[in-house]
Amino acid sequence: MDDLAEVYPDLNVPGCAPNDVYSQAEKKDFDTRVAMEVQKATLAMKIEMTEKISEAKIEMEEMDKKFLEAKEEAKEDKEAMERKLSEAKRDMEEIIADKVKKGIQAYIESLGINLDANLKSKQVPDNSLEDCQQSLSHVPAVQTKKINHQIKSRDNLYLAGILLEVS
């Protein structure tokens, strides 16, 4: 043991017996082995964490890809819905125009006005408002004023024009 103390003088701790040199060398060897094991474990954990980070990045890329696909699909769905709404709006406008036409036609017929004479020629004269007013000459004065007032209003004139064009 004393030989060991001579070989490893740095292990001699003041105030220790010479046989402590052996236990100190053993402790140093143990500490070195522990340090190497800690390094191995740390390296293994680093490798494992690097692999997990790599896998997480791949998953994130896949999720981003799925998100972009879902976003594109939602955009296509929105465009399809807008097309359907536009078609429905056009259909409703046609239905409304048809009902308005029928309503105006029924109203004019209820007043005893015959539009078939003007429609047989398939031409609407430029003075169609005057013709309508002249054809109303047989209607009592109160009703004539009411019709003149309604025909002069912009919407009814427009609708009367639609009635004449469509019929």
Asked whether residue 11 falls in the same domain as residue 81, the answer is yes
49 domain residue, yes or no: yes
57 domain residue, yes or no: yes
What pLDDT, on a 0 to 100 scale, did the predictor assign at position 37? 94
What pLDDT, on a 0 to 100 scale, did the predictor assign at position 117? 55
Which range has the worst mean pLDDT, 10-14, 51-55, 147-151?
Answer: 147-151
Which range has the worst mean pLDDT, 27-36, 38-47, 106-115?
Answer: 106-115
CB 139 within 8 Å of CB 111: yes
Residue 134 pLDDT > 70, yes or no?
no
Asked whether residue 149 falls in the same domain as residue 115, the answer is yes
Asked whether residue 123 falls in the same domain as residue 160, the answer is yes
Question: What are 109-127's pLDDT values in tens digits?
Answer: 888 877 665 555 545 455 5
Question: What are 72-91's pLDDT values in tens digits?
Answer: 999 999 999 999 999 999 99
pTM: 0.37
The most distant pair of C-alpha atoms in the chain lies apart, rounded to whole Å, by: 146
Last residue of a domain, one of 87, 102, 120: 87
100 domain residue, yes or no: no
Residue 149 pLDDT > 50, yes or no?
no
Say how many domains are in the chain. 2
131 domain residue, yes or no: yes
* H, E, C per residue of 22-73: HHHHHHHHHHHHHHHHHHHHHHHHHHHHHHHHHHHHHHHHHHHHHHHHHHHH
Q: Which residue has the higher pLDDT, 166 or 30?
A: 30
Asked whether residue 6 falls in the same domain as residue 59, the answer is yes
Asked whether residue 39 falls in the same domain as residue 6, the answer is yes
42 domain residue, yes or no: yes
Asked whether residue 48 falls in the same domain as residue 127, the answer is no
Domain range for residue 20? 1-87
Residue 51 pLDDT > 50, yes or no?
yes
Asked whether residue 55 falls in the same domain as residue 121, the answer is no
Asked whether residue 66 falls in the same domain as residue 131, the answer is no
Asked whether residue 4 falls in the same domain as residue 57, the answer is yes
